Amino acid sequence: MIELIRTNDAVIISFVESLLRDAGIECFVADQNMSVLDGSIGILPRRVMIGADDAIAARRLLTDAGIGNEMREG
């Protein structure tokens, strides 16, 4: 799996999950339960992970949705 996005913004994560799910691209949100450690104040970023085979399609999807600037390099 590769990291597509890393952010503290729960709205961005939810939007990306929805876009990917609607496109049939499986994803996994890593570090989602880390909020227990940071006291639910959102200082630890969450990561949206996807399969390497889906990287090109997922990047295109996020770019077309206007949130390409949120993606990680690579």
Can you list the domains of the chain with their CATH numbers?
2-70 (3.30.70.790)
Q: Which tokens belong to 71?
A: 């993606």
End-to-end CA distance of the chain: 13
- pLDDT digits (tens), the chain, 74 positions: 999 999 988 899 999 999 999 999 999 999 887 766 666 666 788 999 999 999 999 999 999 999 998 887 76
CA-CA distance, 71 to 73, in Å (whole number)? 7
pTM (two decimals): 0.85
CB within 8 A of 13, min separation 6: which ones?
5, 7, 29, 46, 48
User: What would you measure as the largest C-alpha separation in the chain, in angstroms?
Assistant: 35
Residue 50: count of CB within 10 angstroms of its CB: 21
